[in-house]
Each structure stands twice: as structure tokens, then as C-alpha cells.
Homo-oligomer: A and B are copies of this chain.
Amino acid sequence: MKNHTEYLTIQTQQAREVRSITEQVKEALKKSEFRDGMLLVGALHANSAVVLGINDSKFFGDLQAWLERLAPARDDYQLGRGFESNPSTVLQSILAGPQVSVAFSEGRLDLGPWQEILYLEFDGQRPKRVVIKLLGE
């Protein structure tokens, strides 16, 4: 078993945005030439997230609205302006999760028919990084 690493740089048009990165992860798996193993896709910022969900712009709207309902931007957080964005973005990252692990078998990601790997940006419009680390053989 060996390891293989890729980094993505994502710059969204909007401050808040959801997009599928499934294709980039498949590409990383292809480059690794691994057939079987496990990979980690992790956001390298405290104000973005990576989840498994549906690749549909309507769902992206539902997901964002729901995250804002559960962890709204508020003025009364203790964490002040030292941090780059409202603490709600970090709570949303913890709520959604900053990372997913995905198994792969016979060269293909073990994902269900509707499952895609989604990148969630809560404070974008600048380069953000994602690590893809594969352990496989």
C-alpha cells in the first residue's frame, strides 16, 4: 500500500457557493493508479466544508439555506474581528463537516447513485485549498 496526494485550489465567484468536486477526485484516483483503498478529501480552511450530497443546484440552495438557519451569522459571537470571517462560517463547517473519506474498489469510488463529493464555500472569492490524500494499492 502506498500514498498519493493532490491539492485543489478553488476560487468561487460568490462568497458562498456549493459545487461538486467528484470529477477532480476521480481524476486524482486515476493519477494515483491505485485500484483499492481509501481517500480523504479535506478542506484546508476553517470556513469551508466537504460533504457527500446531491449534485443539483436546487439542492445546493436548500443546503445553504438550511446551514444559515442552523448557524446564522450573528453579531453577538464572542470571537471578534481577528478572525477572517463571521464565526458562523466555522460553525457551519463543523455542522457540515470539513472532510469526507471515500473508499475505492477496482479503480472506482464507492459512492451511491446519487452521492457526489460537494465542496461548500462559506467565505470565498479568493483561492482556497483542498487536500486529496489516497492510501491504496
A45 closest partner in B (C-beta): B112
Residues of A within 8 Å of B, CB-based: how many?
A: 60
User: Which of A8-16, A21-29, A59-67 is found at the contact surface with chain B?
Assistant: A59-67
User: Among the listed B5, B62, B91, B112, which residue makes an inter-chain contact with A43, where contact means beta carbons less than 8 Å apart?
Assistant: B112
Contacts of A38 in B (CB 8 A): 3, 38, 40, 133, 135
Chain B nearest CB: distance from A128 CB in Å?
Answer: 9
Binding site for B on A (CB under 8 A): 1-3, 5, 36-38, 40, 42-46, 51-54, 56, 58-59, 61-63, 66, 70-71, 77-80, 82-84, 87, 90-91, 93-103, 105, 110-115, 129, 131, 133, 135-137
